[in-house]
Amino acid sequence: MKKNHVYFLLTLLFIITTQAFSQHSVRGKLIDENRQPVAFATIILLSAQDSVSVYKGAVSEENGSFSFKDVEEDKYLLKTSFIGFEDHQEIIEVSKDLDLYRIEIKVISSELDEFTIQSRKPTITRYCSLAVRNN
């Protein structure tokens, strides 16, 4: 009977320690305002406490998807960036596997009021010399 209690306590201890040190995954998909995937964008998980320490980094796939594996339970600042798009930031809390589904990032709209193109043609001077022969 005592052996059964020992096995039960060892099993319980194993389950508790496994849950305490468990690792999770975070995944999602980046899309633009037209619901098109954003490929090759940078996604990083920062420490939510100081927003500076980089925990993990990834690059979105051609279909816009990204994933992080072996993420510890904690709060993080998820930051995405890509040329031509506004940076996106949000606080996430990882306590189990987390699917962020679609994250929409906005295109930077930089419009010019007007512009002028000026050009100058290069000046080309040709010199021609004629030699006259006297016979």
- pLDDT truncated to tens, each residue of the chain (135 aa)? 566 666 665 665 555 555 555 689 999 999 999 999 999 999 999 988 887 777 889 999 999 999 999 998 889 999 999 999 999 999 999 989 999 999 999 998 766 566 677 777 777 777 766 666 665
Answer yes or no: is 54 within a domain. Answer: yes
Q: What is the DSSP string of the chain?
A: -HHHHHHHHHHHHHHHHHHHT--EEEEEEEE-TTS-B-TT-EEEEEETTTS-SEEEEEE--TTSEEEEEEEPSEEEEEEEE-TTB--EEEEEEESS-EEEEEEE-PBP----S-------PPP------------
Domain-located, residue 119: no
| Helix, strand, coil % over all residues of the chain, rounded to 5 | 15, 40, 45
Residue 134 to residue 41: CA distance in whole angstroms: 79
CATH number of domain containing 26: 2.60.40.10
- Is 117 within the bounds of a domain? no
Spatial distance between the Cα atoms of 20 and 14, rounded to a whole number of angstroms: 10
* Domain contains 30: yes
Count up the domains in the chain and report the number. 1
Judge whether 110 lies within some domain: no
Tell me the residue type at 74: D
Residue 50 domain-assigned (yes or no): yes
- The predicted model scores a pTM of 0.65
Q: Give domain status of residue 114, yes or no.
A: no
Query: Can you give the residue range of the structural domain that contains 99?
Result: 2-104
